[in-house]
Amino acid sequence: MLVWLDLIGGLNLANPDPEIDDVALFWHRVLTIGWDPLQLGTLLGFLYLFGTGHYDLGHQLAVFVCLGMVNGVIGINYAHELMHQRNKWERGCADILLAMVMYSHFRSEHLLVHHTYVGTPRDPVSARYGEGFYRYFLRVVPQCYASACQAEAAKLARKSLPWAHRKNPFFLYWGLQILLLVAAYLIAGWSGIGLFLLQSIVAIYHLEVVNYVEHYGLTRKHLGNGKYEPVHPRHSWNAAHRVSNWVFINLQRHSDHHYKPARRFPLLQNYTQTQAPQLPYGYPIMTVLALFPSAWWSRMNPRVRK
């Protein structure tokens, strides 16, 4: 349905005033913060419902696959928006959303590694030219965890603090994840943990297929001595498709997000073809196309080379 709506809705090339202050964006902030209790209540509510034993395994698996899709497409996306804000409350909401899909380290990896090294070999998330999605997925999941650990260790070391210091956010990540797993067990036993992990895997897949699309084949020029050119809009794929940008809260205006990472989603700017590379379709189509490597390469490799 979203694919057809995207095709019917066309492109939105208009740009809002980027200087609008946070007061005017109150309801946009409520949207992202308010998703936390809604997602948590839905997740625990279905665990309680299925813990009664009145539903067969097929129903349970189907529902939690669907929950994983929603928590990946909406929940992690909202967490991404919240983690970029300076407000500790919003960052805390992001941590809770990420813990619900067992991917808490994404905050450290995304802020400390991805935005610093995007488009370079030091960024695991930047998909390489000619790299298929399945190889990418098997590579990026362990590499992102390792790079997040290393980045937090380096951050602590710059302050002469050990990795095991209480300021290491990994202790918060692990604590939240354990708390949720314990809650799942208390509500629905071992099957509750299994269903919780199932929706987490589905959500992580949806995150990483979007990550694959966002920077595929794009690189920053190496300037020598381990330095690269600054990040510009041309280092991310842009998509101006109206309906999917509503659903993804303008994540497809990814060129501007990397150019101005702290800019809230309603203010993200669109770029023209001369300013940033354009995806032929929005994420709903591109993420499906990514599952068929030959079709993906035939469509995207010429665009990368151009």
- Cα distance between residue 113 and residue 128, in whole Å: 16
Q: What is the pLDDT of residue 37?
A: 96
Range(s) of the domain holding residue 61: 33-218+227-305
Tokens found for residue 176: 């939240």
Question: Is-contact 287 295, C-beta < 8 A?
Answer: no
Which of these, 185, 184, 289, lies nearest to 237 by C-alpha position?
289
Quote the number of domains for the chain: 1
Would you say residue 3 lies in a domain?
Answer: no
DSSP 30-79: HHHHHHHHHHHHHHHHHHHHHHTS-S-HHHHHHHHHHHHHHIIIIIHHHH
In a domain? residue 11: no
Residue corresponding to tokens 């625990």: 44
Q: Would residue 130 count as lying in a domain?
A: yes
Residue ranges of the chain with per-residue pLDDT less than 70: none
Token pair for 199: 């929706």
Q: Phi then psi for 38, rounded to 5 degrees?
A: -65, -45
Please report the pLDDT score of residue 13 as a whole number.
86
Phi, psi angle pair for 132, to nearest 5° = -75, 160
pLDDT of residue 10: 83
* pLDDT given at position 276: 94
Q: What is the pLDDT of residue 198?
A: 98
Picking from 12, 13, 14, 30, the residue whose alpha carbon sits closest to that of residue 22 is 30
Token look-up 């067969």 returns 56
Residue 1 domain flag: no
pLDDT value at residue 39: 97
Do 209 and 287 contact (CB within 8 A), yes or no?
yes
| pLDDT per position as a tens digit, 190-230 | 999 999 999 999 999 999 999 999 999 999 999 988 899 99
